[in-house]
């Protein structure tokens, strides 16, 4: 499956299962495959794109003490982007960014079986890392959550 297609499937599942409201309601967030879109600079964004990492192979147990060979050919990243408006200290935005990060992780973990074939499982690798860009205008809070797309053989 092409990486653009994978990104689109994953972002669609995230958007359709988004449960936050208020300032983080789905209608107020720009969800898209790809990267940060400067046309939406003043609103929260959530993007999904390939990470460029090498494939990861591992063996995992199955029922009955057998083992399965897993290949995480594709490592992707979900990026949470949250601008800090001019004049703001960013405390609310930091809280929002953290809520968005937790929501992405929740969706990836709880919806792992709802991604269309041949994706297999989509699992976060870790809780992500802070990659905020505070030396630009507007200041931009960013969190990157890496995840595997597992193909089962």
Mean pLDDT by 10-residue block, N- to C-terminus, for the chain (153 residues)?
79 96 97 94 94 71 69 83 88 92 94 69 84 86 88 51
The SS3 call for residue 105 is helix
CA 24, distance to chain mean position in Å, is: 15
Neighbours of 84 (CB within 10 A): 20
pLDDT at position 37 is 94
**Token pair for residue 71?**
């290949």
CB 79 within 8 A of CB 143: yes
Write down the pTM of the prediction.
0.82
What the block records as the tokens of 90 is 């960013």
Cα 53 vs. chain centroid, distance in angstroms? 15
Indicate left, alpha or beta for 95 from its phi (over 0: left) and psi (-120 to 50: alpha).
alpha
- Cα(124)–Cα(109) distance, integer angstroms: 7
Alpha-carbon distance of 153 to 39, in angstroms, equals 41
pLDDT for the residue 70? 66
Distance CA 66, CA 72 (A): 19
Q: What is the pLDDT of residue 116?
A: 65
Give pLDDT, residue 15.
97
Q: What does the pLDDT read at residue 102?
A: 96
CA distance 83 to 133: 9
Angstrom CA distances, 114 to 19, 39, 51, 71, 110, stand at 16, 31, 22, 19, 9
Instruction: Please give the Cα distance from 41 to 84 (Å, whole number).
Output: 10
So what's the pLDDT on residue 123? 78
């Amino acid at each position: 499956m092409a990486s653009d297609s994978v990104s689109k499937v994953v972002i669609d599942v995230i958007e359709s299962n988004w449960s936050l409201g208020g300032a983080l309601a789905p209608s107020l967030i720009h969800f898209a495959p790809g990267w940060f879109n400067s046309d939406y600079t003043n609103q929260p964004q959530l993007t999904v794109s390939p990470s460029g990492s090498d494939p990861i192979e591992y063996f995992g147990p199955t029922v009955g003490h057998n083992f399965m060979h897993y290949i995480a050919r594709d490592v992707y990243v979900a990026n949470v982007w949250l601008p800090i408006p001019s004049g703001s200290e960013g405390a609310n935005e930091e809280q929002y960014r953290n809520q968005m990060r937790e929501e992405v992780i929740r969706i990836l973990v709880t919806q792992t079986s709802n991604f269309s074939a041949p994706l297999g499982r989509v699992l976060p690798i870790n809780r992500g890392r802070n990659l905020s860009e505070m030396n630009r205008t507007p200041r931009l809070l960013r969190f990157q959550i890496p995840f595997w797309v597992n193909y089962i053989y």
